[in-house]
Structures are given as structure tokens and as C-alpha cells.
Amino acid sequence: MDNLTPVTYTLSVHEVARLLAEETSAARHGSHARIGQAVHRRLKRTRHWRTEIRLTLRLTSPHATLDIQGRLDALEPIQEGEHLIECKSTRQTDTPTPTQGERLQLQLYALMRWRQTGTLPARGSLLYLNPDHDTPMPVPVDVTEPTLRALEHHLSADLHPLFDALATHRARLIPRLRHLPFPKPTRRAGQGRAMRHTYRRLSRGHRSLLEAPTGTGKTLAVMYPALRATGRRHGDRIVYLSARRSTRQMVSQVLAPIARQTGLRILTLEAQDRLCDQAHDTPCDCDPAASALQQARSDALKQEAWHMDQLVTLARSHRLCPHRFIQHLSDWADVLIGDYHHVFAPRGGLSLKPFGQRTLLLIDEAHNLHERLCEHLTCELSLHKTDPWRTLPLVRAIRRLPAGAWHRLSTLSTRTLTGTTELLAGWLSDWLARWTQPGDLFQDTRPEQAHLNTLLKLLTLLEQPPETLVFQH
């Protein structure tokens, strides 16, 4: 191995719970999270709780050290000891059923608190909050000693070996990338200078813009120094983005012999209908129990190099959806190849710092980035699915507006809304604040894209609305 010093991976409690529950990373950044945070703050201000308790847990082995970190939402002193509370936002009016990941998240906090203080928590609760109501809905969670000991064993026996395997793989890979020869017999004019500039900027953690005519080999002039920089530990993984599928396929073909030579793990992120047979006609439902995913992931991590055809075959042999399986493996890849939306779309779901790893982000054909970002932040709102919004307090407030106000909003809704999210959301929020009460939906929220989308949906409830309302950032 290149270095016998254990590699340290920094994981959030949310990441660990997601891995143990085998949930996909696409749900990392839910649009309701910001609203939930605002409601959490409002609830905590009304309770005599200790809030935002920082907790850590370290697991060590010869090859990998896991540094698990997180902040418990609230701690309530009770007669029996400590009551641990984790807040969650929900749209349900009845008490919801916690997901496995939510239960594991609180149990991880309980384990970390137990190891930190030496005292077993007395109780644990998930506190669900609906932003339209002030009444919290608590759900008890088992934080007894047998449960926490079983969770600790699960971390040591099932999760930690995955990171041992990742550290071992990277230790074999790094010296091979460090001495990686240029994959072409000759270099084109200007390639050498571009590669030296790119390597220098990447090794120092700086940004850079490279412009060159088509056919000069600029893609390889960026990818090759990025691989060498990874071999010098200036980064842990590479994410390559391009707007064109043909370019992504070309990069994958260029990297294929390098993968065979070095053991590089390459993943190409494709649309679901290109990987899953069921996705063409019906929603994909070919995911079995989490145990099959664990076994398939374990089999994949035993392979030195990854090839997409082999991974798709492996997924199908375990009766897994290939698209979802590739998503689950994305955090463990050395090179990820994808479209812009995997990083820049509001629900792209791709983390640039999984397990605390440093990512070298390469954006090819960047002149397409502005147009694609406008597409990702453009909303077309249909008038046929507005019934659920009629129950919101803010909708009821808007429908009580005087005739003059209705005319003003109707005029606004009949044209394309163009401008920045901050300006438009701020204008709408300030104007609507005069017609809402403190307990309404948008109290204490930030004017972000998700909230703006909701505001725009409300405009479809106006008298004689247009067929389609478009917002372009």
C-alpha cells in the first residue's frame, strides 16, 4: 500500500443513516428542508431546551478512520435523565410513520451521546412539525441499551468494512495515477501548456477557465492533469460534466484503457430510461429489500475497476434497478461522468463532498452552462393540479384580496416572469406579507427557488389565469 496511515473519512449523521438504511442520495436536499429549519427555530424559541448539541463518534481500523459528526436538534432534561429530540418537517396532518433512516438518525445521536457522556439517554423522540399548524407530533423511538449496542455492532461489522475497502483501493490507485503516462502517442499543439496550467491550478485548489478551439484536445488536456493531481493527493475524486451525451461517451472511451491499467472506478450517470428496462412504460419498481443492495454494493467494491456494462449486469443479477444502483455507487467512484443537472439542478442529488472527500470539478463546454441553468430554473405550472393548494392558509388569504389587488396579480401572471430569484421572491413575499398572518406558510422562510415555485403556483388560482405560467431565472 502507498501509505499505511489510516485515511480519515468525515461523515454526517445523515450520511451514515442514509447508508445504513440504503436510501438514495437524491433525497439529500429536499425542497421542504429550508421550511423545516425555519419551523424548527420557531419551535425551539418557545421551549426551554438545549439546542444544537454537537456530537461526535470515531471508529478506527488499520486502514480507515470514520469521524461521524452531527448536531442534535434538542435535548430536554427530564426526571429520568435526558430526552433526545430530533425535529422533522412534514405536510401530513396526522402523526406520520418514521422512515428507517429517520429512526436510525436519532438512534445514532443517542449512541453518540451515550459514548460522549457515559450515561444512557432515558428517551428519544422524533418531533414532526407541519408548517401550517403549531401543534408538534411526537413519535417515540427506541434508544434502549440493546438497540444502541446492536447499532454500534452494525457500524463496526457492516459499514466500517466498506470504508476499509475504499481506503485500500485508493492506496493501490494513487501510485498508479501519480506515474500515469499520457494516454496518446503525441501531444497536440498547446496541450502541454494547458496541462501544466491545469495541474498547477488544481494542485493549489484554485479555479481556472480554459478556452481553446474545437479539436485541440482540451478535454484530455484537463482530464489527464486532474488524474495526476489525484495521484498527488490534491483531490480524492473527479466529477466531469458535459452538456452533450456524445462528449460524455467520448470521455468514457478515453478513460477505459486508463481504468484497465490503473484500476480506476468510473461511473457514467445516465437517464433512468437508458438503464432500466421498466422505465420506458411504467414507473420502476424493481428494487428489492436493502439486503440485496448491500450485497450488490459489496460485490462492486471488490472489483478493482468498474465498467458500466458489468455494473448493469451486476444490478440485474440482484434484481436491482440499474439506474438506482448506479446512484448508490456514485459516492464510491473515482471518476463520475454526468450532465450539468447532476450538480446544478435544484434536485440534482450529487454530493461534491461525500464522506468529506475533496472533489475536482471539471465542466466541459462551459459556454452551454448558462442556457442549461436557465432551463433547470424554469418552471411551467399547469392549471390542472391546483386543488391541494386551496387548503393552504396563504391561499385563503390571497382569495380574500380586494378587486384592485386581484387585477394587479392577474396582470403579473399573464406574462413571463423574468429576473433574479432574490428580487422576484422578495417582491412577492413583501407584498403578500400584508395579507398573511404570522402562522402562515411562508413566515420565517428564505426567498429561495423552492419557495418561489410555491408562490408562483399560488398565482394559478387567480381569476382567468393563463394556460401556462413560466418563470425563468
- Cα–Cα–Cα angle for 387, 373, 456, rounded to 5 degrees: 25
Q: Are residues 267 and 315 in the same domain?
A: yes
Per-residue confidence (pLDDT) for residue 151, from 0 to 100: 95
Q: 436 or 317, which is more confident?
A: 317
Q: Are residues 405 and 275 in the same domain?
A: no
Q: Are residues 38 and 151 in the same domain?
A: yes
Per-residue confidence (pLDDT) for residue 444, from 0 to 100: 34
Confidence tier at 237 by pLDDT (50, 70, 90): very high
Per-residue confidence (pLDDT) for residue 281, from 0 to 100: 46
Q: Write out pLDDT tens, residues 204-219.
A: 888 888 887 777 888 8
Per-residue confidence (pLDDT) for residue 316, from 0 to 100: 87
Confidence tier at 115 by pLDDT (50, 70, 90): very high
Q: 170 or 387, which is more confident?
A: 170
**Is the model's pLDDT at 393 over the cut of 50?**
no
- Describe the chain by its helix, strand, coil percentages, rounded to 5: 50, 15, 35
The mean predicted confidence, pLDDT, of the chain is 76
Q: In degrees to the nearest 10, what's the CA dihedral of 47, 49, 52, 54?
A: -170
Confidence tier at 2 by pLDDT (50, 70, 90): very low
Q: Are residues 350 and 383 in the same domain?
A: no
Residue 205: give the domain boundaries.
173-367
Q: Are residues 259 and 304 in the same domain?
A: yes
- What CA–CA distances, in Å, run from 294 to 21, 112, 159, 180, 298? 10, 24, 10, 33, 6
Number of domains in the chain: 3
Confidence tier at 388 by pLDDT (50, 70, 90): very low
**Is the model's pLDDT at 79 over the cut of 50?**
yes
Task: Classify residue 1: in a domain, yes or no.
Answer: no
Task: Classify residue 166: in a domain, yes or no.
Answer: no
Q: Are residues 148 and 181 in the same domain?
A: no
What the block records as the C-alpha cell of 355 is 464522506
**Is the model's pLDDT at 367 over the cut of 90?**
no
Task: Classify residue 34: in a domain, yes or no.
Answer: yes
Task: Classify residue 289: in a domain, yes or no.
Answer: yes
Q: pTM for the complete prediction?
A: 0.74
Per-residue confidence (pLDDT) for residue 16, from 0 to 100: 93
**Is the model's pLDDT at 285 over the cut of 80?**
no
Q: Are residues 87 and 191 in the same domain?
A: no
**Is the model's pLDDT at 399 over the cut of 70?**
no
**Is the model's pLDDT at 428 over the cut of 70?**
no
Per-residue confidence (pLDDT) for residue 131, from 0 to 100: 72
Per-residue confidence (pLDDT) for residue 379, from 0 to 100: 56
Per-residue confidence (pLDDT) for residue 103, from 0 to 100: 93
Q: Which of 193, 170, 21, 219 is nearest to 108 (CA)?
A: 21
In the three-class reduction of DSSP (H, G, I as helix; E, B as strand; rest coil), residue 435 is classed as coil
